[in-house]
């Protein structure tokens, strides 16, 4: 059999895109590894699993990582496999939105798009909020302290009365996202290279942590068994009022232990989000059908193995946890971030085991989180661009503009960054210290709601199966049923207001608002995916981009 050249493969990708009705506006240059890399970087075992590590400890003890991680992995692999099949049938930016529209109708597509989009905003916010916390704790604050400048996550830059509006963490987050925006605007080639660097950076940091902790680490001083289910939050209680509803919840140990364990699964399930990125960059990927499918599935599979090794190393070498989970909450500078203080469990574990080297590796984790944020902005920007291309939301005419010089959806990228940062500011103002829990729960629920819709439609329809090139064969529907089961379970679990957060009222309000918007306007006005033109018109659009690229020296 004759091996097709890269140029021939790209021509076939463009023909596939034309059949879906779209011109090749974005620059198609990503290989299969780069496609995998963007989803692997967004999953980022050094972001979700780290920033919520003490959340898992608080709700279930060591079992949150040692038992919860593999449990969630089984179900998420089913979800990823089901999505990979559909991705191989419809290789287009926007992914899930287009799939739902084709498999059922434009209304299903509209709802899928909005759920996915809100999840994208929230995941960009959550990742970069976490990255800012680690960058401050491990790099920025120590450097500024050496210059006698007081600045950390809790520094108040601007406040409304006694309520902080802009903190050091939010300021660092804003600056970080501005850098990520610039890199994303500069072109997919730069992002692809940085995603590849991110993969090896993640693996190198995990390898260093695991080897050093097992070879030179300290004994486990927690008094807990490696697989023990034991909630550690024994004193925290919060009272939030939202729209006149008082939310007063006690600590984790007041819940039945089995329920507390399931709440702890947010740690693993939030980590396993964003792997739909491989579908969102399909229009920039060579051999998009296969590469996008494998990118979705392998990003979860590889993260599962590497993540468990990392978490097992940490959990078998815990320090005495009375500082992070004290008998009283009188010292916010030392207790765990779960209690909204300045301490971070993973940093303390690494310092306990490795001393100064632990601090250096913690800084490496902070950089991994920054890579994760970069990839999440790229993915979310493509999703917003694709939905806007079909005039799916207000301002679509502006949002769907593509830079002729860089062939990136610049306006959509700007919108993602600005709205995500403002969303985090609002979450901090309303929820205070629970901001990270609010943002992570919202991103997990909304993203998986969109995942679930497409899997459900895939199980109920047949036409797309003739288009797929990555197939589960006779296992397709059974795997989809497992995936749907877990999607329903996690949406119930993570809507529960653990730690007094206000995520469930927010989600109810969003759904109500979208319902009004849909029935009052979008149901008739929104036309769904539609062709950008005839074949000759699509080709002319592409020639214009190529001409502009040549003018700029591309």
- Contact, 483 vs 455, CB < 8 A? yes
Distance, in Å, from the CA atom of 439 to the CA atom of 270, rounded to the nearest integer, reads: 10
**Residue range 319-342: mean pLDDT, rounded:** 67
Residue linked to tokens 């193995």 = 305
- Contact, 181 vs 442, CB < 8 A? no
**Residue range 275-301: mean pLDDT, rounded:** 95
What does the DSSP assignment read for 91-138?
--TTTHHHHHHHHT-HHHHHHHHHHHHHHHHHHHHHHHHHHHHHHIII
Beta-bridge mates of residue 248: 239
Task: Determine the pLDDT at residue 340.
Answer: 47
Lowest mean pLDDT among 73-87, 95-109, 286-300, 434-448: 434-448
Is the confidence at residue 518, as pLDDT, over 50? yes
Task: Determine the pLDDT at residue 160.
Answer: 77
Is the confidence at residue 401, as pLDDT, over 60? yes
In this prediction, residue 133 has a pLDDT band, given cuts at 50, 70 and 90, of: confident
- Give residue-wise pLDDT tens across range 294-308: 999 999 999 999 999
Task: Determine the pLDDT at residue 468.
Answer: 94
Lowest mean pLDDT among 214-218, 227-231, 238-242: 238-242
Is the confidence at residue 249, as pLDDT, over 90? no
**Residue range 3-19: mean pLDDT, rounded:** 90
pTM for the full model? 0.92
Beta-bridge mates of residue 163: 160
Is the confidence at residue 252, as pLDDT, over 80? no
**Residue range 502-528: mean pLDDT, rounded:** 87
Structure tokens at 173: 């987050």
Task: Determine the pLDDT at residue 63.
Answer: 96
- Give residue-wise pLDDT tens across range 48-90: 889 889 888 888 999 999 999 999 999 999 999 999 999 999 9
Distance, in Å, from the CA atom of 265 to the CA atom of 67, rounded to the nearest integer, reads: 9
Is the confidence at residue 176, as pLDDT, over 70? yes
Task: Determine the pLDDT at residue 329.
Answer: 61
In this prediction, residue 386 has a pLDDT band, given cuts at 50, 70 and 90, of: very high
* Mean per-residue pLDDT over the chain, rounded: 88
Is the confidence at residue 458, as pLDDT, over 80? yes
Is the confidence at residue 342, as pLDDT, over 70? no
What does the DSSP assignment read for 468-513?
-SS--GGGHHHHHHHHHHHHHHHHHHHHS-GGG--HHHHHHHHHHH
Is the confidence at residue 242, as pLDDT, over 50? no
**Residue range 478-484: mean pLDDT, rounded:** 97
Distance, in Å, from the CA atom of 105 to the CA atom of 334, rounded to the nearest integer, reads: 53
Distance, in Å, from the CA atom of 135 to the CA atom of 153, rounded to the nearest integer, reads: 9
| Most confidently modeled range among 116-120, 255-259, 424-428, 477-481 | 477-481
Among residues 174, 172, 158, the alpha carbon closest in space to that of 429 is found at 158
Is the confidence at residue 151, as pLDDT, over 50? yes
In this prediction, residue 528 has a pLDDT band, given cuts at 50, 70 and 90, of: very high
Among residues 169, 176, 162, 161, the alpha carbon closest in space to that of 425 is found at 169
Task: Determine the pLDDT at residue 332.
Answer: 58
**Residue range 365-378: mean pLDDT, rounded:** 95
Distance, in Å, from the CA atom of 58 to the CA atom of 53, rounded to the nearest integer, reads: 9
Q: Which residues contact 171 (CB under 8 A, 6 or more apart)?
A: 157
Q: Which residues contact 2 (CB under 8 A, 6 or more apart)?
A: none
3-state secondary structure (DSSP) of residue 240 = strand
Distance, in Å, from the CA atom of 104 to the CA atom of 109, rounded to the nearest integer, reads: 8
Task: Determine the pLDDT at residue 198.
Answer: 96
**Residue range 323-334: mean pLDDT, rounded:** 68
- Give residue-wise pLDDT tens across range 183-209: 999 988 999 999 999 999 999 999 999
Structure tokens at 269: 């399930």
Q: Which domains does the chain have, with CATH numbers?
A: 29-524 (1.20.1740.10)
Instruction: Please give the residue that has the higher pLDDT: either 494 or 100.
Output: 100
């Amino acid at each position: 059999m004759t091996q097709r050249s890269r140029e021939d493969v790209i021509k076939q990708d463009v023909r596939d895109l034309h059949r879906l009705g779209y011109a090749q506006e974005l620059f198609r240059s990503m290989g299969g590894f780069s496609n995998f890399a963007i989803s692997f970087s967004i999953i980022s075992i050094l972001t979700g699993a780290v920033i919520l590590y003490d959340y898992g400890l608080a709700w279930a003890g060591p079992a949150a990582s040692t038992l919860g991680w593999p449990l969630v992995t089984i179900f998420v692999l089913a979800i990823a496999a089901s999505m990979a099949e559909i991705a191989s049938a419809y290789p287009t930016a926007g992914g899930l939105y287009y799939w739902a529209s084709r498999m059922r109708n434009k209304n299903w597509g509209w709802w899928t798009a909005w759920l996915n989009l809100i999840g994208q905003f929230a995941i960009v916010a959550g990742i970069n909020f976490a990255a800012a916390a680690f960058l401050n704790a491990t790099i920025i604050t120590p450097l500024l302290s050496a210059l006698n400048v007081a600045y950390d996550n809790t520094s108040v830059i601007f406040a409304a009365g006694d309520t902080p509006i802009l903190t050091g963490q939010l300021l660092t987050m804003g600056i970080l996202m501005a850098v990520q925006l610039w890199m994303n605007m500069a072109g997919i080639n730069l992002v692809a290279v940085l995603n590849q660097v991110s993969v090896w950076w993640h693996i190198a940091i995990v390898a260093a942590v695991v080897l050093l902790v097992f070879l030179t680490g300290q004994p486990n001083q927690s008094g807990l068994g490696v697989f023990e289910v034991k909630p550690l939050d024994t004193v925290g209680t919060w009272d939030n009022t939202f729209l006149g509803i008082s939310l007063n919840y006690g600590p984790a140990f007041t819940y039945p232990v089995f329920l507390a364990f399931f709440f702890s699964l947010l740690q693993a399930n939030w980590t396993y989000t964003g792997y739909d990125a491989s579908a969102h960059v399909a229009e920039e990927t060579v051999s998009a059908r296969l590469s996008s499918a494998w990118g979705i599935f392998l990003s979860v599979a590889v993260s599962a193995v590497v993540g468990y090794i990392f978490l097992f190393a940490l959990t078998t070498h815990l320090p005495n946890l009375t500082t992070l989970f004290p008998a009283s909450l009188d010292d916010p500078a030392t207790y765990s971030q779960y209690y909204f203080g300045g301490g971070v469990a993973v940093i303390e574990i690494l310092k306990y085991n490795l001393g100064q080297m632990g601090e250096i590796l913690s800084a490496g984790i902070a950089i991994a989180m920054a890579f994760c944020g970069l990839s999440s902005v790229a993915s979310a920007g493509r999703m917003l661009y694709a939905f806007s291309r079909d005039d799916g939301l207000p301002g679509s005419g502006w949002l769907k503009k593509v830079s002729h010089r860089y062939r990136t959806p610049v306006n959509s990228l700007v919108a993602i960054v600005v709205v995500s940062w403002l969303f985090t500011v609002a979450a901090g103002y309303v929820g205070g210290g629970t901001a990270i829990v609010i943002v992570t729960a919202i991103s997990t629920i909304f993203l998986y709601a969109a995942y679930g819709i497409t899997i459900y439609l895939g199980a109920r329809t047949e036409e797309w199966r003739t288009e797929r090139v990555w197939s589960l064969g006779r296992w397709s529907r059974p795997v989809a049923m497992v995936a749907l089961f877990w999607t329903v379970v996690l949406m119930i679990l993570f809507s529960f207001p653990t730690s007094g957060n206000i995520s469930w009222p927010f989600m109810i309000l969003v759904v109500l608002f979208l319902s009004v918007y849909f029935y009052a306007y979008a149901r008739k006005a929104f036309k769904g995916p539609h062709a950008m033109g005839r074949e000759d018109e699509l080709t002319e659009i592409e020639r214009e981009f190529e001409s502009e690229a040549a003018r700029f020296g591309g």
